[in-house]
Structures are given as structure tokens and as C-alpha cells.
Chain A
Amino acid sequence: MAKKEVSYYPGCSSQTGASSSNMMRATQTMCDELDIQLNEIPDWNCCGASIGYGGGGELPRLTLSARNIALSEQHNPGQEIVATCAACWLSTREAKERLHEDANMFRDANTALNEINLKLNNQTPVRHMVEVLVEDIGFEAIKAKVKKPLQGLKIASYVGCQTNRPFGIAEESFENPVYLDHLIESVGADSIPTYEKKVQCCGGALAFSEPEKSQEMIHGIIEAAYDHGADLIATPCPLCQANVEIYQDQINARFGSKFNMPVVYYSQLMSVAFGRNSKDSALDGQIIRAKSLEEIAGK
């Protein structure tokens, strides 16, 4: 496979010691195996996520993303921007599209960028890593890389919101996207096609500000996985992963449940299936250990 180079936008939560640093490690492992070279956008900044709107108005928020795109165009010319975080991808792509459609906003963003001698051309595609896997690499090529099939594991595909709406992955439905099921099957595990909480919201940033309301939704996401006999939940989104994994103690206390469900990234499933060890697959970054994956990785 020829080496693919992308302009990589990891995002704040992927940094060392941050909440999805485990996703970053597994992404790196997965990309090594698939011969994808991640060229980080130099000095990238926060995208503002989907909660920055209170403090930041429309133009300041679009300008945050415009700076990242401009830096990418300057330092990684000709390379597509690829993000692994749902919010990073969404904000950047939203900014790209709105600045494309609104000439005044484009002019104003460039006026702000001019303060630091940057210029946005806005010609760079903004993609999610999942699009690279599904559209450029393909399920067959992924299957061909599998050394240790995740046989016997039943995995609920929890796609969540922002990897799915409003842009989503081409040719997928908003109500029942199936690419994650296909990825799960490509690495030899069983998916759960009827998992009804696949695109249920976890509360997003409101897990911090409205924990009771959010934990009620998270409870439903985990309960449905148990109802289907899932061993694990897999997700592409760092906030989904954290929200569904880390509050299980609090949810158990609130609802009298006994949840202890591991929640992992697709990149961790792929790293293990490609024959890499637990550490490379960032399984040590779990709060609820994914023992079934550790066993396969240790074989």
C-alpha cells in the first residue's frame, strides 16, 4: 500500500495526559499499520467545540477554525485535513463550508487572520479519520491486515451524534449508519445491527453542566448494550467514549444498576486485531478494563 499523508488535527483532548490521549495512541498504532502518515498541523488551536458559543460569537469561532485551516494550507500544502475528534471535525468542516458560502464572513475572517499574517484560501478538504478508513482504505484492505480476529466478541456500535450529524459519512443514513458495524465485522467481531441506541446523544458537553439529565441518557445507552448481550461498546467519538465510560459508578449509584461495560475506540479494536499489544492499543487507558481485548492482545 502506498503511503498516505494527511494533515492531522488531533485536538485538545488527544494531547498527552488528556482525556482521550488513549485514542491518540491507538490512532497512531492503527495508522502505522495502515501506512497512513499523520503530519500534525503546526501550532493548531482549539476549535471551540460545540460549547464555546456562549463566550465566542459566530465570527470568533469561525476564525479559530480558519486559523487551523490556514496553518494547514501553509505548512502541509496539498494534504487533506483529517481529524479524529468529532467536535474538531465538525467545527472545522462547518467553518470551511460557512466561509465558503458567506463572502462577507470569509472577508472578515481573513481580516482577523491578517493580524497574524495568515491567509485562508479555504481550498482544503476537511475529513474524519473514519472517511479515510471507509473510502480510501476500504473494508477489504482492513480485513486483509487482521492477524488476530476478535472472534466471539459481541460489540455494540455506538456512533453517537457528531460523527453522524449533520455531515456524517457519505451514503450512510443519519438514523442507522452501518459503517461502524462493518468495521467491527471486518476485524472479526460480531456487531449488533439492532442496537437501538447507536445514534442516541450522550449529553455531550452537558454531561458537565447538566449531569443528571445526561446520565439518564447514558444509562439508556449502556442498558441497551447489556440487553443485546454486548461484551463491549465501541465508538469513534472521544466525548462519547468518556461520557459513556467514566460515569458508570455514578450512574450505578443513581439508578441502582451494576454496569461495568468497557467502552473502546474503533482504533483500539483495529490495533489489537492487527496484532499489536495492549500498550500500543492503549488498553491501559481504560477506566473499565477491556479484559476480553487484553486477552486477545496478549496471545
Chain B
Amino acid sequence: MSDLNSAMTERYHNSFLKEVEANVEEGEWVKMCMQCGVCAGSCPLGNAWEHTPQKLFMMIRAGKREAVLSSDAMWMCTSCYNCIARCPRGLPITHIMHGLAHYAKRLGLVPKNQPTAQFSQIFWDNLMKKGRVNELKLGLAIYFKDGFGQGIKNALANKQLGQNMMKAKRMNAMEFFGGHSIKDTGGLQKMIKKAQEIEDAKIQGNS
């Protein structure tokens, strides 16, 4: 168990709802759920989830901390915002899913090899380097996320796709050597470091 995870378990003993309200993006909305299930029926990947948002919200209130934070459900969110558009109580469900996913990652509870969790981190690291996404390196990083052998296999399986994109000038091999960038990368990184420090301090203060 990570130190922060132990500290949070100790701090919020028996009240996982309070922990979510204090530490998860838009978590203060969870108690407003009336269990109607519209979110569950509206989710495009509803058939792929272990827990629908409706279930997660009830599990949070029931104190099922481990089951919620180690669920792969919130990582199935495609950010389609259908649940937000339809929720009769106006819960910002998409954001709560992102918030739960981020909190689980912060506590080190994400299921191993969860592909969207991996992609999400790869995407963030990619954009932080140059201030803009380098699509070529993003694609390669996904192909090679499970090792070199699998990476070559993935690259070969998608060879035609890559060639098509290059022919249409929608992918550029030269992006491998540097590529698009903002001018003030140092400043952007400094700014984000500050934002992360503020957020970390707030969550540590809650632990």
C-alpha cells in the first residue's frame, strides 16, 4: 500500500464518501445521485464496465473503498458526456469518473496494465515535453508500451494505416526528431509544476 493510500485509509476511516468529497474532482456531487440508472443505460461502453457510474456512486456511499478505487470502470469512460447530458440530478458524471481515475492513480490502486490508464499517462507525458502533443511519438509509445517484441508486432499490424496517414500528409516521420513545440516549454513546465505542488499540498493536507 502506498504511504498516501495508508494515510487516507486511516484519516477517513469508515467514511469513504467524505474522502471522495474532499479529494476527488467534483466528488461533492456523489451524494446527489438518486440511483435512477440513466447513466448506466447511456454509456456507450456500458456493456464493458464492471461497475456503471450508478453502481460506483452507491459503492462509494457503502464504503467499498478498495472495490471502487481498483475498479477498471472509470477507465472505460470515453468522455462522450452522454451521462452528463442526461442525468436528471445534473451530476457532472464524466468529471467524477476522471476524478476517480486520477485519484486511484495517485494512490497507486489502478489495475495493472489497464490500457487506458497507460495511454492517459503516456499522453500527459508526451504533451508536457513540448507543450503540444507529438502524434507520431504518441502512436509509437502506445505500440511499444508492452515491450519491444509486442511493439514491432503492433507497428507491423498498423503499417498500412501509418503509410496511409503519411501519404495524406497527416503524419510526418520527421516528428520523431523534435517536431512541433511551443516556444516557452520551460515556462510551461514550471507553471504546471507549481499547479501540481498546490494540488499535492491540498491533498496531503487532507491525509
Chain A to chain B contacts (Cβ below 8 Å), 15 pairs: A16-B180, A17-B169, A43-B183, A46-B132, A51-B119, A54-B117, A54-B123, A55-B128, A59-B195, A59-B198, A112-B195, A161-B78, A165-B82, A205-B120, A286-B168
Given A55-B125, A116-B188, A285-B168: 20 more A-B contacts, CB < 8 Å = A12-B180, A21-B170, A22-B169, A43-B183, A46-B133, A51-B116, A53-B98, A55-B123, A56-B192, A58-B199, A111-B198, A112-B194, A165-B82, A166-B84, A174-B85, A208-B119, A210-B116, A246-B164, A287-B168, A287-B170
Chain A contact residues: helix, strand, loop or mixed = loop
Q: Is B78 touching A204 in the complex (CB atoms < 8 A)? A: yes
B123 CB contacts on chain A under 8 angstroms: 49, 51-52, 54-55, 205
CB distance from B84 to the nearest CB of A (A): 5
A184 at the binding interface (Cβ < 8 Å):
no
Residue of B nearest to A214 (CB): B78
| Contact count band on B | 35 or more
CB distance from A70 to the nearest CB of B (A): 10
Q: Is B78 touching A12 in the complex (CB atoms < 8 A)? A: no
CB distance from A101 to the nearest CB of B (A): 11
A50 CB contacts on chain B under 8 angstroms: 79, 98
Within 8 A of B (CB), among A262-299: 284-287
B190 CB contact (under 8 Å) in A13, A44, A116, A246: A116
A194 at the binding interface (Cβ < 8 Å):
no
Give Cα A174–Cα B84 distance, bound, in whole angstroms.
11
B151 CB contacts on chain A under 8 angstroms: none
Q: Is A250 touching B161 in the complex (CB atoms < 8 A)? A: yes
CB distance from B195 to the nearest CB of A (A): 4
With A45-B188, A53-B120, A166-B81 as given contacts, are A206 and B161 in contact (CB-CB < 8 Å)? no
Within 8 A of B (CB), among A111-163: 111-113, 115-116, 118, 161-162
Q: Is B78 touching A45 in the complex (CB atoms < 8 A)? A: no
B165 at the binding interface (Cβ < 8 Å):
yes
Q: Is A249 touching B161 in the complex (CB atoms < 8 A)? A: yes
Q: Is A247 touching B161 in the complex (CB atoms < 8 A)? A: yes
Number of interface residues, chain A, beta carbon within 8 A? 65
A43 CB contacts on chain B under 8 angstroms: 182-184
B175 at the binding interface (Cβ < 8 Å):
yes
A258 at the binding interface (Cβ < 8 Å):
no
Contact count A vs B, C-beta below 8 Å: 207
CB distance from B70 to the nearest CB of A (A): 15
- The stretch from B52-60, B61-69, B99-107 touching chain A is B99-107
- The stretch from A60-68, A185-193, A226-234 touching chain B is A60-68
With A54-B105, A59-B199, A203-B78 as given contacts, are A48 and B116 in contact (CB-CB < 8 Å)? no
Q: Is A46 touching B199 in the complex (CB atoms < 8 A)? A: no
Residue of A nearest to B124 (CB): A55
